C-alpha cells in the first residue's frame, strides 16, 4: 500500500472502548499524542483484522499508529 507523503508514525496509550470487525476499526480513548498534536480523545482507527481480534473492550493498551492528516491506522497494539 502506498503511503501518502504526509503519513507519519506515532505512539500512543489508551483504552479500548469498542471493536468493530465488520467496519475494520478499533475505537480508543487515547491519551494526548504529541506527534499528531492531538489532545486526549475517543476516536476510531482503522486496523487489520488480526489486530482487531487481539484486543477487547476495556483493555489498557500501548499502540503504534500511522498518521495521515486527521485519520490514523493502528499498525501495532498490545495490552499494557
Ligand atoms: Cu484522537
33 CA distance to ligand 1 middle (Å): 8
Higher pLDDT, 8 or 64: 64
44 CA distance to ligand 1 middle (Å): 8
Beta pairing class for 60-68 and 8-20: antiparallel
How many CA atoms lie within 13 Å of 79's alpha carbon, on the beta-carbon side?
7
Count of other CB atoms within 10 angstroms of residue 28: 28
Burial annotation 33-47 (CB, 10 A radius, 16+ → b, else e): beebebeeeebbbbb
Which residues pair with residue 26 across a beta bridge? 19, 45
Q: Hunting for cell 492528516 — which residue is that?
A: 69
All structural domains of the chain, each given as residue ranges with its CATH number in brackets, are 8-79 (2.40.50.320)
pLDDT in tens, 9-32: 999 999 999 999 999 999 999 999
36 CA distance to ligand 1 middle (Å): 8
1 CA distance to ligand 1 middle (Å): 23
Residue 38 has pLDDT above 60, yes or no: yes
Amino acid at each position: 500500500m502506498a503511503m501518502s507523503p504526509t503519513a507519519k508514525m506515532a505512539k500512543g496509550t489508551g483504552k479500548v472502548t469498542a471493536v468493530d470487525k465488520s467496519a475494520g476499526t478499533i475505537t480508543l480513548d487515547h491519551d494526548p499524542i504529541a506527534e499528531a498534536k492531538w489532545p486526549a480523545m475517543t476516536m476510531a482507527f482503522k486496523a487489520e483484522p488480526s489486530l482487531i481480534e487481539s484486543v477487547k473492550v476495556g483493555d489498557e493498551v500501548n499502540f503504534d499508529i500511522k498518521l495521515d492528516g486527521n485519520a490514523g491506522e493502528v499498525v501495532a497494539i498490545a495490552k499494557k
